[in-house]
Amino acid sequence: MKIIGTGSALPKKVVSNEALSDFFETNDEWITQRTGIKTRRIITDERFEDIATEAAARAIDNAGLCPDDIDYIICSNVSNLYITPHLSSIIQGNLGIKGPQCPTFDVNSACVGFVYALDLCDALISTGRAHHILLVAAEECTRFCDWSDRNCSVLFGDGAGAVVLGAGEGFKLCHLTSTPMPDVIVYRNPMEATPFERGEGIDTHHALEMKGREVFRMAVTSAVRDIRQITEDAGLSLDNIDHFLLHQANLRINEAIRDNLRQPEEKFPTNVQRYGNTSSASIPLLLDEGVHEGRIKRGDTILMSAFGAGFVTGTAIIKY
């Protein structure tokens, strides 16, 4: 499998750290020092599915294909407006792909969904069951936040990244892990209460809850472990990697990983300062930016590494 096209899309509204102090007690200094985040994009008068579709359309165009060339669509998200239908079938409709010979399904592996889905795409393409897969990672994380609680709301932003995948020699190795720790990052389903309980007026309002410090520690430890392991398994040294595309949750997490690996800063592109944590969209957004700005070139070796709720991690090495 190889990546043949990339695309991304973001909501128009840019929200600064200063603007968040309208909602709760916080300030630019605290957010910048602890996370590196300065602004985030938030969906307001747009629709989530349109942002996802725009990223998808750009990736198809960048691949030099038309929507009908796509024969499989997979979407990574945890924030689709509907529990069903899944977002990839909505994107299919928006792109005008009539089907029926174009299966669609969604993946929920939180912030690692894009890397998990890449591994699935490789299985489908290498066995000839799909020729051109559209993989979209689209997230509206700000919908999960309690906008009266400063702990989580300052961290997240909305956005979408997409790739088109086809047969080729690009995908070198993938290493996925899962360690059951169900309480470190949690977003409960609003349907959790039974209809009877809802009838009794039980509060079913839920927002994202996170054990920030624990996640921080696990993120650094697991990323360093996974990155060292996968490069060794691939018979590469860290110096052979041209770009480290790390999940963008917190600049300090990524600096700690980089310091441990002793690799130069220019190999670690970032966008968390501008977009906040866009969950599984953060890596394909970085990829698309790097490609369009000419920093990521054909033949470069890319290492992707993400961590997220579960606790899951995913690391992949790809020749672009």
Per CB under 6 A, the list member of 101, 213, 262, 265 interacting with ligand UT7 is 213
Give yes or no for residue 245 binding ligand UT7 (CB under 6 A): no
Give yes or no for residue 308 binding ligand UT7 (CB under 6 A): yes
Q: Which residues pair with 137 in a beta bridge?
A: 76, 161
Can you say how many angstroms the Cα of residue 154 is from the centroid of all Cα atoms in its chain? Answer: 17
**Structure tokens that stand for 269 in this block:** 């592109």
Amino acid type, 128? G
Kindly identify the residues of this chain, within the stretch 214-233, that bind ligand UT7 according to CB under 6 A. 215-216, 219
Helices 251-261 and 212-233 pack at an angle, to 10 degrees, of 40
Distance CA 117, CA 283 (A): 12
Per CB under 6 A, the list member of 35, 89, 104, 305 interacting with ligand UT7 is 35
Give the contact letters, 268-297, x = binds to ligand UT7 (CB under 6 A), - = no: ---------x-x------------------
Per CB under 6 A, the list member of 115, 249, 302, 312 interacting with ligand UT7 is 249
Kindly identify the residues of this chain, within the stretch 61-120, that bind ligand UT7 according to CB under 6 A. 111
Establish whether 131 is a catalytic residue. Answer: no
- Site of tokens 């996925």: 176
Give yes or no for residue 30 binding ligand UT7 (CB under 6 A): yes
By C-alpha distance, which of 46, 47, 63, 75 is closest to 7? 63
Give yes or no for residue 26 binding ligand UT7 (CB under 6 A): yes
By C-alpha distance, which of 161, 151, 118 is closest to 2? 118
Size of the site for ligand UT7 (CB under 6 A): 22
Q: Write down the least CB distance from residue 279 to ligand UT7, Å.
A: 6
Output the furthest CA–CA distance in the chain (Å, rounded): 61
Q: Write down the least CB distance from residue 154 to ligand UT7, Å.
A: 4
Give the contact letters, 116-155, x = binds to ligand UT7 (CB under 6 A), - = no: ----------------------------------xx--x-
Task: Report angle CA 55, 61, 63 to the nearest 5 degrees.
Answer: 105
Which residue of the set 247, 250, 254, 271 is catalytic? 247
By C-alpha distance, which of 315, 111, 83, 304 is closest to 210? 111
Sole window of 54-62, 119-127, 172-180, 210-218 interacting with ligand UT7 (rule: CB under 6 A): 210-218
Q: Return the DSSP state at 44.
A: S
Establish whether 277 is a catalytic residue. Answer: yes
- Site of tokens 């051109």: 132
Do 46 and 11 meet the contact criterion of CB atoms below 8 Å apart? yes
Contacts of 16 (CB under 8 A, 6+ apart): 28, 38, 39
In the complex with ligand UT7, the residue whose CB is nearer, 16 or 194, is: 16
The footprint of ligand UT7 (CB under 6 A) covers 26, 30-31, 34-35, 111, 150-151, 154, 185, 210, 212-213, 215-216, 219, 249-250, 253, 277, 279, 308
- Which residue numbers are catalytic? 111, 247, 277
